[in-house]
Structures are given as C-alpha cells and as structure tokens.
C-alpha cells in the first residue's frame, strides 16, 4: 500500500459518526498483498491501462492503488490526484441528488415533469421523474437523432448522416432537446438509455433556479460525503476547466487493429472534450478520483449520510419493468436489477450495489457490498468496444477481496 493510503488509514469519518478500525497487522497486509497481486495480474493481461482502485469500509480506507500512465505520450503516470471520467456511474450520483430533492419536498417522483419544464420537452405532461430515474420513460435515444450534433467519433460511421464531430463545441440543453421526441408507452417498459437522465438535469435546473444554482447545490450536497478526504472540486467535479485539465488523464480507446486512440489529441480538443461530462450531460455529469467515488458510495449505502434509510431501500429495489424487460442490459447480473440509478452487481460470490460506466476512452465501476459495508471503486482511462476494462479489473479485485474473507 502506498504512503498516501497509509496516511488515510488513520483518518476518522465525519464528526459524530462511528467507524470500524482499519484492519490490524497481518490481516491488513494479507488483504493488501492479495489485492495488489490481483490488480497487477489483470492489468498486465489487458494492456496495462491507467488505473485507480480503492477499497473502503465504514469510512475507512482499507486499500488503494494506482498504476499505468495518465498520459501515455508524455509518460505521465497516474497519481492519487489524477482525475478520471466516471461515465454512467454519474447516473448513480445524480439519482442520489434527485432523491435528496424529493426528501426535501422540492420534487415529486410521480408528478409530470411539465410542472418544471412546461411544454419545452416532448411528452412532459405524461412523463414523471420516477420514469426518468428507472429508465421507463419510453423516450427514444436522443443522441441517435440526426438533429443532435455528433458526440462520439467512433459512432460517426454508424450515423451515416454526415454529422461532424467537434470536441470544442459549446453544448446547451436545447441542442440535446432537439433529439427528444414523444415517448412510447411511458412507464410500461424498461430500456436503458441516456435520455431520461439528460432530462433529469433539466428538471433539476428548473427546480433549483438555473444551471449555476444546480452546480452549487450539487457541490454542497456532495460535501456531505466527506470522510477520509474532503469532497472538494479537487477530487470530484462537475466542471470542465483548465484547472481540471491539468490533472485529467487522457482517455484511450482500443481500436480493432490494436492501436490506442487518444480522444484528447486525435480530434484537436483544446481542453477536456466538451461532450464528456458537466451540464447539460447529467447522464454522465461527473469526473473525479476513485477515492472520491468510493466516499460517495460509502456515504450513501454504508454511513447513510446522504439519504434516509427508506429512500435508499426504495432506490435499490429493482423495478418490475427492469426484471421483466432488461436482462440483456445487465451483463454483471443474472437478471436485470435496476432500481433508481443503481443496480445489483455480482462479484466474488457476493452482492454489490452500484453502477458501471464507459465512454470515449474511459471505463469505471463503483459498488458497495451493503451487507459488509465495503465499497470497491475502479476507474480506468481505457475502453474497448468488446469489453469494459474497469469491469474486468473490478471482478478480479472483488474475487480477491472475497478470498481474503474480510
């Protein structure tokens, strides 16, 4: 375990909250050794991507590691402070914030979203926030609509409509909304798509007083997850900025010919590609470190600092539509177990709750073994069309953790 991790082994959780002590003596060293070995082996097998991985229990850091290159061209290694794109793991974060607004009485899950967005969104008079959270709204894929600018170079050949890709384009909600059309049988079927979470961002923005107010509200909410390290913009961000760029890893997509495509250089991005995260992309709005992601999940599922217990129970309960319609959408579970922004994931013979994410050169997975109060979070700057490197790494670490019987 590196010195950074050792320093945080002694950190306490937020005032007034109890925490289990870190693993003592040989038990802690054995766990660290097994996890280090598992991480090293699997990373070598998949081409040694840049990685951060964290194991946390009841607000205490049990193990952390990082390896690989943040920027391969300059031989810049991944550090503990390197920022990674979380991808769709951000859906779990934004769903938690939505449910916080429900608890505060700002939102009603079952009221039509027209209450906030009026008629600017197709179908707003019949679609509810609950439908958006549970992927049951019935909206088609907005990103696939020709009216929406291209947002993923590797998908351009499949569009076939000549949409140019520009990583420096300034995005607005109106640009995304151009591809949102009337939903089909809202509330009836599960279909995992990004459109619902894009609309949740618009609903939230209207509910709290605009985009800047929404970003401030999210930052305040995230700080409630403080534990081993303050949840500041340094670790967990919704902002694309030059300050963030200085610590951001480049995303690398493994192509069919075995080469790596760097999304930060291949298309002349002048900074962080604008479609990667931040508003209006509340389907994947966040970037940060593995530690920050783990702290958020630990605060949500274990320390219960972010939502009330009954809200969390409702959040993790699979919907009937997902159980019936979505088995092919959930490769890490035998049946589709989506609830509201989260799902059950099986690993190491244990049941975890969380989410996965991947997009333009990055993959990530964040999960909590709620029964044992343990959170495992992995971020990588590698993605492929065949598999998600973070999922492969996570599976090996979950098995090593289970074998250690902690």
Question: Which tokens hold the place of 180?
Answer: 């949102």
Confidence (pLDDT) at 18? 30
152 falls within a domain? no
Q: Using CA atoms, how far apart are residues 271 and 167, in angstroms rounded to an integer?
A: 8
Number of domains in the chain: 1
Would residue 107 count as lying in a domain?
A: no
Residue 136 domain-assigned? Answer: no
pLDDT of residue 17: 31
Average model confidence (pLDDT) for the chain?
88
Alpha-carbon dihedral 162, 164, 170, 176, rounded to 10 degrees: 30
Can you give the residue range of the structural domain that contains 333?
3-15+23-82+236-272+286-303+323-404
Give the ranges where 22-113 is alpha helix by DSSP (H): 25-45, 89-103
Q: Is residue 100 part of a domain?
A: no
- Give the Cα separation of 208 and 116 in Å (integer): 10
- For tokens 């390290």, name the residue: 229
Q: Does residue 134 register a pLDDT over 80?
A: yes
Q: Is residue 196 part of a domain?
A: no
Q: Residue 368 domain-assigned?
A: yes
Q: Kindly state the average pLDDT of the residues 227-248.
A: 83
396 found inside a domain: yes
pLDDT, tens only, 97-133: 999 999 999 999 999 999 999 999 999 999 999 999 9
What residues have CB less than 8 Å from 292, skipping those under 6 apart? 229, 231, 235, 236
Cis previous bond, 280, omega within 30: yes
SS3 content of the chain, % helix, strand, coil (to 5): 35, 15, 45
The mean pLDDT value for 369-391 works out to 95
Angle between helices 89-103 and 290-297 (to 10 degrees): 40
Task: Name the burial class of residue 116, with classes exposed (0-12), middle (13-18) and buried (19+) by CB atoms within 10 angstroms of its CB.
Answer: buried
What percentage of the chain reaches a pLDDT higher than 70? 87
pLDDT in tens, 273-326: 999 999 999 999 999 999 999 999 999 999 999 999 999 999 999 999 998 886
Does a structural domain hold residue 221?
Answer: no
CATH of the domain at 50: 3.40.710.10
- Residue 15 DSSP symbol: T
Are 140 and 184 a contacting pair, CB within 8 Å?
Answer: yes
Structure tokens at 9: 């082994």
């Amino acid at each position: 375990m590196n010195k950074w991790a050792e320093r945080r082994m002694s950190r306490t959780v937020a005032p007034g909250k109890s925490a289990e002590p870190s693993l003592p003596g040989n038990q802690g060293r054995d766990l660290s050794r097994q996890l280090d070995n598992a991480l090293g082996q699997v990373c070598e097998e998949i081409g040694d991507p840049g990685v951060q991985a964290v194991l946390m229990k009841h607000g205490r850091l049990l193990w952390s590691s990082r390896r690989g290159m943040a920027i391969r061209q300059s031989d810049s290694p991944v550090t503990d402070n390197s920022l990674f794109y979380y991808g769709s793991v951000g859906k779990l974060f934004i769903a938690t914030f939505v449910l916080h607004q429900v608890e505060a009485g700002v939102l009603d899950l079952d009221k039509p979203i027209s209450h906030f967005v009026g008629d600017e969104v197709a179908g707003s008079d019949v679609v509810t926030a609950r439908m958006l959270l549970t992927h049951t709204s019935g909206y088609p894929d907005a990103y696939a609509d020709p009216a929406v600018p291209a947002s993923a170079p590797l998908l351009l050949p499949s569009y076939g409509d000549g949409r140019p890709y520009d990583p420096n384009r300034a995005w607005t909600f109106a640009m995304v909304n151009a591809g949102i059309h009337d939903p089909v049988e809202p509330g009836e079927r599960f279909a995992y798509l990004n459109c619902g979470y894009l609309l949740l961002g618009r609903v939230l923005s209207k509910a709290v007083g605009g985009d800047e107010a929404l970003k401030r509200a999210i930052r305040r909410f995230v700080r409630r997850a403080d534990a081993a390290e303050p949840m500041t913009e340094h670790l967990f961000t919704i902002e694309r900025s030059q300050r963030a760029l200085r610590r951001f890893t480049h995303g690398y997509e493994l192509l069919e010919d075995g080469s790596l495509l760097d999304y930060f250089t291949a298309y002349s991005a002048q900074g962080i590609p604008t479609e990667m995260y931040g508003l209006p992309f509340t389907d994947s709005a966040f970037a940060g470190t593995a530690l920050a992601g783990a702290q958020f999940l630990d605060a949500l599922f274990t320390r219960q600092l972010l939502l009330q217990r009954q809200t969390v129970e409702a959040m993790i309960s699979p919907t009937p539509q997902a159980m019936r319609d979505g088995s092919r959408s959930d490769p890490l579970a035998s049946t589709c177990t989506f609830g509201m922004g989260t799902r059950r994931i099986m690993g190491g013979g244990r049941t975890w709750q969380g989410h996965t994410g991947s997009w333009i050169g990055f993959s990530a997975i964040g999960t909590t073994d709620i029964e044992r109060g343990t959170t495992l979070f992995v971020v990588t700057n590698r993605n492929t069309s065949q598999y998600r490197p973070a999922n492969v790494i996570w599976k090996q670490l979950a098995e090593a953790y289970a074998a250690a019987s902690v």
